[in-house]
Amino acid sequence: MRWKEPTLLLLVSPDSVAEALDCAKAAEHLDIVDVKKPDEGSLGANYPWVIREIRDSVPADKPVSATVGDVPYKPGTVAQAALGAAVSGATYIKVGLYGCTTPDQAVEVMRGVVRAVKDYRPDAFVVASGYADAHRIGCVNPLALPDIARRSGSDAAMLDTAVKDGTRLFDHVPPDVCGEFVRLAHEAGLLAALAGSVTVGDLGALTRIGTDIVGVRGAVCEGGDRNTGSIQPHLVAAFRAEMDRHARDHAAAAVAAAS
């Protein structure tokens, strides 16, 4: 799958089967169900059986994404983990390149993931994920991710935040730089995904810069807390309504500017 035209998909991240059932109640408002384990990190990997149970719990037409973890620079280990996620039923495989300090290391890891996953399931969708706060953990620069994804044969480039301390995506990579990230991804024929304590207030900027996938958890959890709160169907619906409103407003502004 390659980027063709602007779109905006909502990815929501339950961490349990119970939360996945709540996502199923709001299935009409979301596009991708993303399985992670927040207590193991920003892109913490959940158990294979949890991925399988969640796949069985949500509507068949909703893709299930699974995080492989905030991974070290161990290409073979990561390739096996990614294959495990695919075998468990995930069709979107996300890899957090936490331990890769150079683009070449990141490309090596992602090439192994792409081969392992696509040899098993050619239509699987591989996401190379980096971190907006890369400067705090010493991993690859956020703007290197689109080229890493392109060189490795991945399908999308994503940014999240590594340290969940209340700071957010735009605190580390402001909207204009995120716009450059999106532009580089699109030029490489990739989807661009952005996450990292995203709130409703960020949707205008995310829409304006052409983001393809918006990833949320805390924004649709009770109390806005990704760790102690649980996903609420009505909050998913409300978030989607705001996404759609911004999309309509952006489209109307584009038409007005062109006329």
CATH number of the structural domain spanning residue 208:
3.20.20.70
What phi and psi, each to the nearest 5 degrees, are found at residue 71? -90, 155
pLDDT tens digits for range 56-76: 999 999 999 999 999 999 999
Q: Is residue 79 part of a domain?
A: yes
Judge whether 101 lies within some domain: yes
Active site residue 94: yes
Task: Choose among 203, 217, 215: nearest CA to 248.
Answer: 203
Q: Which residues constitute the domain of residue 139?
A: 9-258
Residue 74 catalytic? no
Mean pLDDT for the stretch of residues 187-206? 96
Active-site choice (25, 37, 94, 118):
94
Q: How far is CA 97 from CA 53, 94, 179, in A?
A: 26, 10, 21
Residue 40 included in any domain: yes
Per-residue pLDDT band for 152 (boundaries 50, 70, 90) equals very high
The owner of tokens 């996945």 is 20
Q: How far apart are CA 245 and CA 249, in angstroms?
A: 6
Residue 113 lies in a domain: yes
The structural domain count of the chain equals: 1
Task: Please give the share of the chain, as a percent, with pLDDT higher than 90.
Answer: 84
Sign of CA pseudo-dihedral 3, 130, 15, 198: negative
**Which residues, other chains included, contact 226 with Cβ-Cβ below 8 Å and sequence gap of 6+?**
38, 164, 197, 217, 218
- Of the two residues 38 and 212, the one the predictor is more confident about is 212
Q: Which of 4, 25, 36, 74 is catalytic?
A: 36
Residues 6+ apart with CB under 8 A from 88: 48, 49, 51, 52, 55, 66
Q: Is residue 2, in this structure, part of any structural domain at all?
A: no
Q: Which of 97, 43, 93, 45 has the alpha carbon at shortest distance from 73?
A: 97
User: Is residue 4 situated within a structural domain?
Assistant: no
pLDDT in tens, 121-141: 999 999 999 999 999 999 999
